[in-house]
């Protein structure tokens, strides 16, 4: 949604997400308004994709909004939580579609990491060990306890325990910015 605003010339958060008049609310919406969060929230939850999915950060979802636009080759966020530090970063590697996501889940928490891919047949590794090949989860990597295809087939979501991880794929989704 933020990309829509940027295309329409937004340099601040607008009062309404679409940026146009709402027939149920008379008057033109403000284009300089703090609306339901800030840009920092979008960076953490949208671009980097970190969100709390369980009470008190018991479970954490990491699903970055990946883009291959040359103006944005990655993102990173570190959050201090009641359970410890949560970290997530992603970047495009030297190849056009190479993709890496680093994740850190604090002790006592569990999480999911979504690797967006162009095909569910893509190979994904964690720490250099295969965790997804030929459309199937490859068990045996410590801390990676399962995987499933995300609805629509544009990603693979890995279930992980607390720890530090580095997922990599050579078939990341390429979604250019406007």
Residue 127's alpha-carbon distances to 21, 68, 87, 124, in angstroms, are 49, 23, 16, 10
pLDDT tens digits, one per residue of 107-162: 999 999 999 887 778 899 999 999 999 889 999 999 999 999 988 777 899 999 99
Listed by start position, the domains of the chain span 1-36, 47-169
Strand duo 136-137 + 155-169: pairing:
unpaired
Query: 65 versus 39: which is more confidently predicted?
Result: 65
First to last CA, the chain: 12
Fold topology of 47-169: Maltose phosphorylase, domain 3 (2.60.420)
Q: Please state the pTM of the whole predicted model.
A: 0.73
Copy the structure tokens of residue 164.
Answer: 């530090």
């Amino acid at each position: 949604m933020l990309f829509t605003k940027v295309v329409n010339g937004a340099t601040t958060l607008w009062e309404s997400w679409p940026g146009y008049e709402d027939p149920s609310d008379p008057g033109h919406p403000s284009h300089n308004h703090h609306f339901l969060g800030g840009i920092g929230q979008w960076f953490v939850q949208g671009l980097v994709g970190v969100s709390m999915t369980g009470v008190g950060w018991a479970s954490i979802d990491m699903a970055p909004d990946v883009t291959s636009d040359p103006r944005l080759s990655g993102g990173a966020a570190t959050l201090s939580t009641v359970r410890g530090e949560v970290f997530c970063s992603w970047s495009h590697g030297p190849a056009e579609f190479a993709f890496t996501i680093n994740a850190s889940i604090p002790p006592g928490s569990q999480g999911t990491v979504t690797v967006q891919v162009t095909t569910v047949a893509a190979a994904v590794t964690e720490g250099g060990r295969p965790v997804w090949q030929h459309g199937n989860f490859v068990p045996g990597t410590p801390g990676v306890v399962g995987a499933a295809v995300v609805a629509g087939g544009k990603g693979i979501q890995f279930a992980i325990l607390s720890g530090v991880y580095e997922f990599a794929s050579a078939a990341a989704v390429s979604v250019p910015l406007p």
